[in-house]
């Protein structure tokens, strides 16, 4: 049995990841968090840029740290980030949240569904962790976000607006909706309001069942305004940060995890069936059986497109395997859980500090992030540990 099935090891792994960033990530000059860390050395390479996704992921991480590890510094760090989110990312005039803040000034105010989903997740996790020194406006914010982004005729969310909420982007995307589903599950778990669970199930069925009828059960990333598949969108930019072309094995298996989690709250018979199918499709098309790891993407014929391997993919696979083992009792998922952890601890983890690299090459050589605005302060591996604690340990 691997050490990664042990609750003490999983908790210590969460703490090591948090401590890679903490306390240097706490911006005492401007508020909020500093996310731009050299993943090899731990040095900070830029201090002023605040991405909405990074802010919310830090809040989520510290909420989990407070709840799972019972560390006082996690609570104070979480409150520090919540203050910045609601004072500086939040737009009091127009409503919603700025995408990028420089210091304390917004420099990109487009309204992005993907980012707003992480706002809801962060607020829900903070409420779940009883970090409530003031009233967290979870329900009010969730209802506002859903009112703005939700398209009732499709049971899915728009992707983006301008800063005044007057011009919706034509593009529709699966990624934003997947994370909105994740967020709505968290809001439901924090409030027990069935409306949020119903909305999460509606998104899940639309994307993993209805829209996969034309793609042999696989989930495509990009869509036209009325939710027809757009197979040419970003064809020339398969490495795009948020909207890469091609099928993503990581998203097939991330959906497998979300469907397994939904099955805790719903008796819908399609949830586990589709979760198991998506888990298998991700392995069949994306797992490198020789060297381990998931290719980043594959084309419509099933051939790898981007062969670099991102850590979020194997982290989501760990969570999916854990949840599916809990929900089915099938030992194959426990075997895959061990396989994924073996790969992650060997190739994705910085052995000196315990943080995870964003990505490695096809042959598993680390590619540390040393420039650009960062959005992933350990959210995915901490999530993997959290799901493992809930499902296995």
Catalytic residues: 251, 380
The region that residue 240 occupies, defined by phi over 0 for left and psi between -120 and 50 for alpha, beta otherwise, is: beta
Strand 359-360 versus strand 309-310 pairing type? antiparallel
For residue 173, list its beta bridge partners.
Answer: 222
Radius of gyration of the chain (CA): 19
Torsion of CA 310, 314, 319, 323, to 10 degrees: 140
Residues 36/50, Cβ–Cβ less than 8 Å? no
Helix, strand, coil percentages in the chain from 3-state DSSP, rounded to 5: 50, 10, 40
- Tell me if residue 111 falls in helix, strand or coil: strand
Nearest to 393 by CA among 13, 65, 16, 3: 3
> Measured between alpha carbons, how far is 247 from 228 in angstroms, rounded to an integer?
16
Largest CA distance in the chain: 55
> Measured between alpha carbons, how far is 24 from 19 in angstroms, rounded to an integer?
9
Residues 165/210, Cβ–Cβ less than 8 Å? no
Terminal Cα-to-Cα distance of the chain (whole angstroms): 12
Residues 160/111, Cβ–Cβ less than 8 Å? yes
Torsion of CA 119, 124, 129, 134, to 10 degrees: 70
Residues 283/343, Cβ–Cβ less than 8 Å? no
Residue 63 has phi, psi (to 5 degrees) of -60, -45
């Amino acid at each position: 049995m691997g050490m990664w099935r042990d609750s003490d090891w999983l908790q210590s792994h969460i703490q090591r990841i948090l401590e890679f960033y903490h306390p240097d990530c706490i911006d005492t000059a401007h508020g909020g968090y500093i996310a731009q860390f050299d993943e090899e050395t731990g040095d900070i390479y830029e201090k002023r840029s605040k991405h909405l996704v990074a802010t919310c992921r830090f809040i989520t991480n510290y909420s989990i740290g407070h709840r799972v590890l019972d560390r006082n510094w996690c609570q104070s760090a979480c409150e520090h980030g919540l203050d910045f989110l609601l004072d500086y990312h939040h737009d009091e005039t127009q409503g919603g949240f700025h995408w990028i803040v420089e210091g304390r000034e917004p420099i990109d105010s487009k309204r992005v569904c993907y980012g707003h989903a992480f706002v809801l997740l962060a607020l829900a996790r903070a409420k779940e962790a009883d970090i409530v020194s003031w009233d967290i406006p979870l329900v009010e914010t969730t209802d506002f976000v859903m009112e703005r982004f939700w398209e009732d005729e499709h049971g899915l969310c728009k992707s983006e607006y301008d800063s005044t909420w007057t011009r919706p982007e034509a593009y529709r995307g699966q990624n934003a909706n997947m994370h909105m589903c994740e967020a709505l599950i968290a809001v439901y778990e924090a409030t027990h309001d069935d409306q949020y669970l119903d909305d999460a199930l509606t998104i899940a069925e639309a994307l993993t069942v209805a829209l996969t009828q034309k793609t042999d059960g696989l989930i495509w990333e990009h869509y036209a305004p009325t939710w027809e598949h757009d197979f040419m969108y970003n064809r020339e930019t398969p490495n795009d940060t948020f909207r890469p072309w091609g099928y993503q094995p990581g998203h097939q298996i991330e959906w497998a995890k979300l469907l397994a989690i939904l099955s805790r709250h719903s008796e819908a018979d399609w949830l586990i069936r589709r979760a198991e199918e998506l888990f298998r499709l991700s392995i069949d098309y994306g797992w490198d059986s020789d060297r381990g790891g998931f290719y980043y993407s594959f084309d419509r014929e099933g051939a790898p497109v981007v062969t670099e391997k991102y850590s979020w993919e194997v982290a989501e696979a760990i969570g999916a395997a854990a949840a599916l083992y809990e929900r089915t009792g099938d030992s194959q998922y426990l075997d895959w859980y061990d396989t994924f952890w073996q790969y992650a601890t060997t190739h994705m983890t910085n052995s000196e500090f315990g943080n995870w690299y964003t990505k490695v090459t096809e042959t598993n050589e680390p590619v540390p992030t040393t420039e650009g605005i960062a959005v992933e302060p350990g959210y995915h591996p901490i999530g993997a540990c959290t799901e493992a604690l809930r499902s296995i340990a």
